[in-house]
Chains A and B, each alone.
Chain A
Amino acid sequence: MSSVLYDLPGPRARLRNRILGVVSIAAIVALVAFIIYKFNQTGQFEPRKWEQFQYASVQRELLTGLWATLKAAGLATVLALLFGAVFAGARLSDRWILRTPATFVVELFRAIPLLILIFFGYYVPLQYGWSIDKLWALVIGLTLYNGSVLAEIFRAGINAVPYGQTEGAYAIGLRKNQVLRLILLPQAFRSMLPAIVSQLVVLLKDTALGFIITYPELLFVGKQIGGRLPFGLPYVPTYLIVAAIYISICGLLSILAWWLQKRMSRLPRTAGKVVRTEDINAGATPI
Chain B
Amino acid sequence: MGDFFRVLTDNHQVFLDGFTNTVQLFLIAAVGSLVLGTLLGAMRVSPVPALRAFGATYVNVVRNTPLTLVFAFLVFAVPKLDVNIDYFPSAFIALTVYTSAFVCEVVRSGVNTVATGQAEAARALGMTFGQVLTLIVLPQALRAMVPPMMSVFIAMLKNTTIAAGFSVLEAGAIPAYMAERGEPQMVVLSWIVIGFLILIIPLVVLQRFLERKWAVAR
Contact = CB atoms under 8 A, between A and B. Distances in A.
Contact of A116 (B61, B66, B147, B193): B193
The 8 closest A-B pairs by CB, nearest first: A208-B66, A212-B165, A250-B64, A287-B155, A113-B158, A208-B68, A123-B185, A235-B77
Interface of A: 2-7, 9, 13, 17, 20-21, 24-25, 28, 38-39, 41-42, 44, 108, 111-116, 119-120, 123-124, 126-127, 201, 205-209, 211-212, 219, 222-223, 226-227, 233, 235-236, 238-239, 242-243, 246-247, 250-251, 254, 278, 281-285, 287
Contacts of B208: 281-282
B56 interface: no
Given A21-B48, A112-B197, 14 more contacts: A5-B111, A24-B50, A25-B50, A38-B82, A44-B81, A111-B196, A113-B161, A127-B182, A127-B184, A206-B66, A208-B68, A211-B68, A239-B69, A281-B147
A208 B69 contact: yes
Most buried by B among A222, A238, A282: A282
A217 B151 CA distance: 29
A114 B196 CA distance: 12
Nearest to B151: A285
B93 to A, nearest CB: 15
Given A205-B64, A209-B68, A242-B69, A283 B200 contact: yes
A114 B193 CA distance: 11
Contacts of B120: 2, 7
Contact of A243 (B49, B73, B102): B73
21 contacts: A3-B45, A4-B112, A5-B137, A21-B49, A44-B80, A108-B197, A116-B193, A119-B185, A120-B186, A123-B185, A123-B188, A124-B186, A219-B66, A235-B76, A235-B77, A239-B73, A243-B73, A247-B65, A251-B60, A281-B147, A287-B159
A254 B151 contact: no
Nearest to A210: B68
B interface: dominant SS: helix
B72 interface: yes
A22 to B, nearest CB: 8
B63 interface: yes
A85 to B, nearest CB: 23
Nearest to A16: B47
A4 B137 contact: yes
Contacts of A111: 158, 196-197, 200-201, 204
A68 B214 CA distance: 46
B65 A246 contact: yes
Contacts of B11: none
A219 B111 contact: no
B80 A235 contact: yes
Interface of B: 45-51, 54, 60-61, 63-69, 72-73, 76-77, 80-83, 99, 102, 109, 111-112, 114-116, 118-120, 123, 129, 132-133, 137, 147-148, 151-152, 154-156, 158-162, 164-165, 172, 175, 179, 182, 184-186, 188-189, 192-193, 196-197, 200-201, 204, 207-208, 211
A42 B81 contact: yes
B155 to A, nearest CB: 4
B45 A226 contact: no
A120 B189 contact: yes
Contacts of B185: 119, 123-124, 126-127
A238 B69 CA distance: 11
A206 B98 CA distance: 13
Contacts of B161: 113-116
A42 B82 contact: yes
Contacts of B132: 5
Given A39-B81, A254-B64, A211 B165 contact: yes
Contacts of B118: 4
Contacts of B196: 111-113, 116
B73 A281 contact: no
Contacts of B112: 4
Given A4-B111, A4-B116, A247-B61, A113 B172 contact: yes
Contacts of B61: 247
